[in-house]
Structure 1
Amino acid sequence: MINVALAGKGKIIRPSKGKLIIYIPAKVHNDSAFPFKARQDVEIKIDGDKLIVRGKK
């Protein structure tokens, strides 16, 4: 089970053909436990009904 400190309602936006943006609310990404930085490359994987996002090293 994943321990979630903060949660919020996000949104998937399609600003142009071929692109999707995932909106993460400020109360989530401003939390000190949020593991990513702006413009950081990430690995995205689909696992059943879950979207898994991992930081790339």
Structure 2
Amino acid sequence: MEQDAAFGIRQIVDVAMKSLSSGINDRDRLANRLTRVREALVAAPPSFVRIDQN
């Protein structure tokens, strides 16, 4: 389950990054995808979200 969630988040981030390309430049899509990532991280179990203290 955790691997599937990580894959989904990577896909959302990929779409967000592509929305910033010079050919597309879609800031609304970027904002939407960042909101989806935030929602996914908030809903994720604590063991899934790791914060690197380095």
User: Larger relative CO (CA 8 A, sep 6+): 1 or 2?
Assistant: 2
TM-based fold match above 0.5:
no
- What TM-score do the two structures reach when normalised by structure 1? 0.29
Scaled by the length of structure 2, the TM-score of the pair is: 0.30
